[in-house]
Amino acid sequence: MAEHVRIFDTTLRDGEQSPGCTMTRDEKLEVARQLARLKVDIIEAGFPAASPGDWESVAAIAKEIGTPDGPVICGLA
């Protein structure tokens, strides 16, 4: 039986919960690119219901990084 450990990364959402830690849309895209390059299976890209800016960032990441062969892009609902 083949085994596969799935990596679910929350850096883009949970990382911004630290006081003083915020990223621009472009910074989030760059982090997502690097996570995809590292073959992370699932990227939690943010909390799109929190603000229009978060919505735009998650949408941009899903559009650029989320592909049938790439990582799954999700957001905290």
Domain spans of the chain?
A: 8-74
Q: Which residues of the chain have pLDDT under 50?
A: none
Q: What is the pLDDT of residue 2?
A: 76
Q: Tell me the two tokens of residue 22.
A: 């915020």
Pairwise CA distance, residues 58 & 46, whole Å: 6
Dihedral angle sign, alpha carbons of residues 55, 31, 10, 62: positive
Which amino acid would we find at residue 68?
A: P
With a CB cutoff of 8 Å and minimum separation 6, the contacts of 71 are 35, 36, 39, 40, 41, 42, 43, 65
Q: What is the pLDDT of residue 64?
A: 95
pTM score, two decimals?
0.88
